[in-house]
Chains A and B, each alone.
Chain A
Amino acid sequence: MSKNNIDAYRRKFLVGTGVAAAAVTVAPGLLLRQAQAKPADEAVTDKVRWGMLIDIDNLPNGGQGVVDACKKEHGWGNETHSNDKQKTHWVRTVKVTEKLTKHSFQLPVMCQHCETAPCADVCPTGASFKRADGIVLVDKHICIGCRYCMMACPYKARSLVHEAIYDQKPDSPRGKGTVESCTMCVHRVDEGKQPACVESSGGAIVFGDLNDENSEISKVLKEKGGKQIRADLGLNTGVRYQGI
């Protein structure tokens, strides 16, 4: 772990100087980046910050399709010995009703991929971490299942696997005694594909690079805005909502 951190630090430093040099020689308008697959042997960088914008008014079924697509992609929720409180959820639908007006709406809630992630902050082993491109993950190889991160997460986005798991998806390793949550379909993102929920949403969820002002997500966010849940916590989430 410490070696990884050092590498990340050195890369940040190198990338920082590299960008400064590029900005001198290339006109600003030419600094276009496209959301495409990075070469498999290249490490992710913080030039990119992945994000999602969820328009709940256009999301069919109050987001149930998102939950189903996620389950199908990652195979979670198939526990047979766990009770309802123990069962895993990577994304769930939450219904909100305003007390006075009784106006209510439903939204899918998953890991919000915070810039300053409380889970990574409290994790005693370094298993919870934020990848350079903003995706918050659990390294299950070093997770000890203490669940401190679950306590720290304001979005209730994480769960612990309570029982032995079989027949996992090859791209979604899952096992007893480790904590898990939305990975923003990191295995697909690394191949230049969209997360499974985005593909299932019929255009209601936009996925892209928040650092690139020319990406679709940045353009829509600039024009129409997008709210964070619990914005008061100042976590600068990568997942934003419209219609809440």
Chain B
Amino acid sequence: MFGKAQNILATMTLLALASLMVGCGETAPELKLETAKAKTEHCVEPDDVMRRNHMDFIKHQRDETVHNGIRTSKYSFKACINCHIPAEKDGKPVNYLTDDHKLNPEHFCATCHAYVGVQLDCFECHSDNPAGAAPADANHGGTAHE
């Protein structure tokens, strides 16, 4: 009697573990770091500092900008996008989501966030590319980059 219950328990534990591991067999999302690497030496901080602290920099700057109107370009979210995301690729803006709403490995922010599995909330409100306009009335360069 007792042994049977233990068996059932063991099976259930195994099943639970197996269900947790579903998806682990998939290969990690592809990392495309060409744009990032090309920009490293021009970035506002060394890349190891940026990797660890970019979220704190932009969070601090966001309060300064929204509440106090401070619009310096160091740590400015818009400046990050303007530098790291190309205005377009193959005639189309580079969006952080692909057409089937997966993180787009071609998008500088999305490529790492997909790799490490960290949610990327910024672009639910912010423009994810320098143009910020639909392809039809894209205003590449010009005023959008100011």
Contact = CB atoms under 8 A, between A and B. Distances in A.
A133 interface: yes
A38 B70 CA distance: 9
Given A168-B126, A169-B132, A41 B66 contact: no
Interface in B64-78: 64, 66-73, 78
B70 A137 contact: no
A168 B71 contact: no
A47 interface: no
Contacts of B127: 167-170, 173
Contact of A38 (B66, B69, B82): B69
B93 to A, nearest CB: 8
Interface residues of B, number: 27
Interface of A: 4, 7-8, 38, 40-44, 75, 129, 131-133, 137, 139-141, 164-171, 173-176, 178, 186-187, 190-191
A129 B132 CA distance: 26
**Smallest CB-CB A-B distances: 4 pairs:** A175-B125, A43-B68, A173-B125, A44-B69
B67 A167 contact: no
Contact of A190 (B69, B81, B93): B69
B72 A40 contact: yes
B144 interface: yes
Chain B, interface SS category: loop
B130 A139 contact: no
Contact of B68 (A44, A75, A176, A191): A44
10 contacts: A40-B70, A131-B69, A133-B69, A167-B132, A167-B134, A169-B133, A170-B131, A170-B144, A178-B125, A191-B71
Contact of B125 (A41, A132, A140, A186): A140
B146 interface: yes
A237 B50 CA distance: 43
A45 B24 CA distance: 54
A75 B73 CA distance: 23
B48 to A, nearest CB: 26
